[in-house]
Amino acid sequence: MEIDSHGRNLERDNIFVLVSPWKVPSFVYFLIERKIPKNFGLIHYSYPKKILDEDPFLTRKYFLEIINSISRDLAKLNNQKPRNFYMYGQSLGCLFCVIVADFVKIRKMALIVPGLSLPEAFWQGSSTRELKEKMEKKGITLAKLKEIWKDISPENYFKDKALGCEFFITLSTKDRVIPYKDGLKLVEFLKNKNVKFTLRKSGKYSHRELVLLDILLFKTARFLFS
């Protein structure tokens, strides 16, 4: 699977790593990219719509390709000289950020409408209902999916470097794409792991509205770059 990435100023000590959500064109993120401080480098990752497939084994393969690609890129930069990495993910992009943070030390991470369990969010979410129904026709249950996707779901990580990362999390109580209750599970998970985090809740905006608002306003910059 083709992973789209571009970067600039990668010789800098501070690197901003942006991971796009599912089905959002990467070009809209120029609004965020232009707000990055001048002393920061940038790497932006995006991926095709087909990353989520009715074949759960193919989805697993695609996810691991992205996780491994980002981890290798950041490790290579860090081997050249020590860096401060700041990750930013939205929706499905949050998953890749969280898992990568267990392999490469991330200083700060901002997550816009994340979840804890990929299988549960997929099974219960509104945007993936059609794919879920196709899986069910092939005999895939939630229990089977949890086993197949065990190594691409965040709850099975946080065993190493991610424990030292500081998180800023934005959730929507109206979220139907990644159900709000799954986002809360991530918060409780971090709390139980004694991971430092700040939580912001919205009862006004939906999943997609919070994604769009943070692209337009990028309020999380205050956390990431302070």
Map out the domains of the chain as residue ranges: 4-224
Q: How confident is the model at residue 85 (pLDDT cuts 50, 70, 90)?
A: very high
| Cβ atoms of 93 and 150 closer than 8 Å | no
Q: What is the mean pLDDT of residues 51-74?
A: 96
pLDDT digits (tens, 9 = 90+) for 162-214: 999 999 999 999 999 999 999 999 999 999 999 999 999 999 999 999 999 99
Topology given in CATH for the domain delimited by 4-224: Rossmann fold (3.40.50)
- HSE of 92, CA atoms in CB hemisphere, 13 A: 23
How deeply is 34 buried, as exposed, middle or buried, from its count of CB atoms within 10 A (0-12, 13-18, 19+)? exposed
- Give the Å distances, CA to CA, from 86 to 2, 141, 162, 174: 24, 36, 12, 28
Q: What integer pLDDT is reported at residue 52 of this predicted model?
A: 95
Q: What integer pLDDT is reported at residue 1 of this predicted model?
A: 66
With 70 as the cut, is the pLDDT of residue 53 above it? yes
With 90 as the cut, is the pLDDT of residue 58 above it? yes
Identify which has the larger pLDDT, 58 or 160: 58
Return the percentage of the chain with pLDDT > 90, whole number. 91
